[in-house]
Amino acid sequence: MSKRSGAVSTSPGRSSRDGTVAHQQPAADKQKTLLSADVGHFSLVRAMHLADLITLMNGFCGVMSIFSSLRYCLGDPISFDNVWAALVFLPFGLFFDFFDGRVARWRNKSSLMGQELDSLADLISFGVAPAMVAFTLGLRSLLDTVALTFFVLCGLTRLARFNVTVSVLPKDASGKSKYFEGTPIPTSLGVDAIMAYWVYNRWIMEDLPFGAWFQGSVLEFHPVVLMFVLHGCLMTSRTIRIPKP
Q: What CATH architecture is 47-167+179-242?
A: Up-down Bundle (1.20)
Higher pLDDT, 9 or 108: 108
In this prediction, residue 12 carries a pLDDT of 38
Higher pLDDT, 242 or 122: 122
Q: What is the mean pLDDT of the chain?
A: 83
Residue 190 reports pLDDT greater than 50: yes
Q: Provide the CB-side half-sphere exposure for 178 (13 A, CA).
A: 8
> Given pLDDT bands bounded at 50, 70 and 90, which one contains residue 8?
very low
Higher pLDDT, 55 or 106: 55
Q: What is the mean pLDDT of residues 224-241?
A: 94
Q: Name residues whose C-beta falls within 8 Å of residue 44's C-beta, 6 or more positions apart in sequence.
A: 34, 35
Contact 96, 61 (CB under 8 A): yes
State pLDDT tens for residues 28-74.
Answer: 555 565 556 555 665 666 667 778 888 999 999 999 999 999 999 99
Higher pLDDT, 220 or 103: 220
State pLDDT tens for residues 107-140.
Answer: 666 667 778 899 999 999 999 999 999 999 999 9
In this prediction, residue 20 carries a pLDDT of 43
Stated pTM of the model: 0.81
Short-list 44, 188, 15, CA closest to 115:
15
Q: How far is CA 74 from the centre of its chain?
A: 25
Percentage with pLDDT > 70 across the chain: 74
Q: Three-state SS across the chain?
A: CCCCCCCCCCCCCCECCCCCECCCHHHHHHHHHHHHCCCCCCHHHHHCCHHHHHHHHHHHHHHHHHHHHHHHHHCCCCCCHHHHHHHHHHHHHHHHHHHHHHHHHHHCCCCHHHHHHHHHHHHHHHHHHHHHHHHHHCCCCHHHHHHHHHHHHHHHHHHHHHHHHCCCCCECCCCCECEEECCCHHHHHHHHHHHHHHHHCCCCHHHCCCCCECCCCCCCECHHHHHHHHHHHHHHCCCCEEECC
Could you state, in order of their start, the residue ranges of all structural domains in the chain? Answer: 47-167+179-242
Short-list 154, 166, 190, 188, CA closest to 244:
166
